[in-house]
Amino acid sequence: MQNDPLVQPSPASPVAATKSSTGLDENVASLLAYVFGLVSGLIFFLIEKDSRLVRFHGMQSTLLAGVFWIGEVALWILSTIIVLIISQVSGLLGTLVWAVLMLLSFVLGIAALIGWVMCMIKAYQGQYFKLPVLGNFAEKFSQK
C-alpha cells in the first residue's frame, strides 16, 4: 500500500488582519459595535483611537439604535393620542386605527432588524456599508 504524499503548506502566508486599538481585529470590533446597539456602538466609538472603520460602525450602530428607539417611542405616543381621540367617536374605529398603527410599529421593527443584520454582516466583511442618511452622519463623526 502506498503512503499519501504529505501536503506542503503554500509559501504565501495568509494576510494578517488589521488590528484596532482595542486589540481586536478591525472586522471583529466593527461587528461587536452592533451587538448591543446603542451601548456597544458608543463604547467602540469612544475607545477606538486608530481604526476609522471601527469608529464608523460604532457611530452608525449608535445612530441606528437611537433613531429606532426614538421612532418607536414617538410612534407609541402618537398612536395613543390618536386612538384616544378617535375612540371618542367610535370604539370600533379606535381599535382599527390602533391595529394599523401597531402594524406600522411592527414593520418599523422588522426594517430595523434587517438593517441591523446587514450592517453586522458588512462590518464583519470589513466594508463601509452606509445606511441612508445615518451613514453620512456616521462618516462625518468618525472622521474627527
C-alpha 33/C-alpha 119 separation (Å) is 10
Q: Side-chain half-sphere of 56: how many Cα atoms within 13 Å?
A: 21
Confidence of residue 2 (pLDDT cuts 50, 70, 90): low
For 105-144, what is each residue's pLDDT tens digit? 999 899 989 999 999 999 999 998 899 999 999 999 888 7
**The model's pTM:** 0.78
Residue 79, all three cell numbers:
398612536
C-alpha 99/C-alpha 96 separation (Å) is 5
CA angle, residues 43, 140, 62, in degrees to nearest 5:
30
